[in-house]
Amino acid sequence: MSDYSSSSSTTSEVEEDMDDQSLIEWYSKKINDQKLKIQGNNQMNSIKFVEQLSINQLEMYSCKNIQFNIVPNNLIKLTLEDSRIKNLQGIEQMRSLFQLELGFNVISDATNLSFLTNLTNLDLQFNQLMDLSFLTTLIHLIELNLANNKISNADTLRSLSNLQILNMGNNFLVDISMLKYLTQLQQLFLQENQINDIEFLRNIKTLKRLNVSDNQIQDITVIQELTNLEELFIKGNNISDIQVIGKLSQLQEFDASSNQITNLFSTQQMKQLKHLDLGDNQLVDITNLKYLTNLEFIALNDNSVVHINSLEALTKIKGFKLSRNYLVDLTFLEELCRKYPYNYNFQFWDMQIPTKIQIITSNTMSTIHHTTEKLFNLKQQLKSHKNKFNKFTQKIQQPVNQITNNHQHFLNATISLFKKLEHEQSEINSQ
């Protein structure tokens, strides 16, 4: 959520138990601070003390037994997270609040919040809410987080026409047609619900970020009208046709993993795309990927891909996920290592350290699937796991005779790197 404190304001933090009077005396020595943060304090049972301090923002985390029967009226921002709050009685007096964060509590009744009509930012994630009728009067809300509650009916949201950011992920939503009235939305998160119809999106052309992952969606035709989209997440649905994605020329990140996709979308117009995840689908032909010249990361794991030569055009690529396919030619990867032998930024996410190089050269990629986050950046791993990573060269020298000449440059680069790492490890162990 947005922070209303100015860049010149400072924050004082209290992480030990203090009663109200001790806290006032401590804070009086920090008169220039505008924000106070308290964590893990179980001694105070109200926040009335704030009226005696020159602050307008209060953040409290893991502070139990907080009551609202005596409350300050000078706050514009209040955060009370992870404090087992259940009863909001008394909070309706805090009419000056613009920003309220009550996440990670046990709130089931938020009726009292309906009186806080100046609110622009409200965070109630990870509570036990079912009834949203309290939202009817909060027409100035710009950002609303209701993720991880027990909400099945969102009709009340139709009155919040000023909303720009809405998170209702991980609830029990099925019908969300009322969201068509929220025409100012820029970010919408609806992941992990039971949604099967997204036609309401036709009215929300302002969207830049959309997450409808892990629902029951089959048809995404309407998404082609959201031409301002920069980030789109549709993983874990029942989608087979994604041709409409080719019309989203502003898209920078796209995750369509764990669906039933058999064919790629047209990619000629998608020059902005940097992150693409198509893992766990039914793809065979990935020729169209050659047009994504700004792509930096691609996931194609768990498909039926045979050839990856089309990836040669992706000169900005930094990371791959290629495991569990049917690859028969890894020339592209070898050329990559040859052209950039000293560039250790490449991330072959699904390839373990190659103890059997012949597996790579025979291109049975599906057997090299154990995740190692940075194959070409093991220095830090060596430092933190001194006894795990050693004698790399012994592991990879054994199958050298099985490597053909046209793979020798790849092998040489690999051995050279591991020798360097082994030498560094030896120096570390000797310290």
- CB burial of residue 426 (10 Å; 0-12, 13-18, 19+): exposed
3-class secondary structure, 100: strand
Residue 99 Cα distances to 75, 121, 271, 395, angstroms: 9, 5, 38, 58
- The DSSP symbol for 90 reads T
Please report the sign of the dihedral spanned by the C-alpha atoms of residue 348, residue 349, residue 353, residue 356. Answer: negative
Alpha carbons within 13 A on the beta-carbon side of 395:
13
- CB–CB of 289/298 below 8 Å? yes
Alpha carbon distance 366, 273 (integer Å): 27
Say what the pLDDT of residue 344 is. Answer: 44
- CB–CB of 239/217 below 8 Å? yes
Backbone angles phi, psi at 32, to 5 degrees: -85, -10
Structure tokens at 208: 């830049």
Say what the pLDDT of residue 301 is. Answer: 93
C-alpha angle 182-183-189 in degrees, rounded to nearest 5: 60
Q: For 227-236, which contacts have Cβ atoms below 8 Å and span 24 or more sequence positions?
A: 230/272, 233/191, 234/259, 235/259, 235/277
**pLDDT tens digit string along 238-268?**
999 999 999 999 999 999 999 999 999 999 9
3-class secondary structure, 80: strand
Residue 151 Cα distances to 108, 125, 136, 139, 172, angstroms: 11, 11, 16, 20, 6
Alpha carbon distance 272, 248 (integer Å): 10
- CB–CB of 415/394 below 8 Å? no
- Is pTM beyond 0.85? Reply is no
Say what the pLDDT of residue 270 is. Answer: 95
Say what the pLDDT of residue 116 is. Answer: 97
* Terminal-to-terminal C-alpha distance of the chain: 47
| Residues forming a β-bridge with 211 | 189, 233
- CB–CB of 259/235 below 8 Å? yes
Which segments in the chain show pLDDT lower than 70? Answer: 1-33, 41-53, 69-72, 336-431
Please report the sign of the dihedral spanned by the C-alpha atoms of residue 215, residue 217, residue 218, residue 220. Answer: negative
**pLDDT tens digit string along 297-331?**
999 999 999 998 888 888 898 888 888 888 887 77
- CB burial of residue 200 (10 Å; 0-12, 13-18, 19+): middle
Say what the pLDDT of residue 281 is. Answer: 98
Amino acid at 393: T
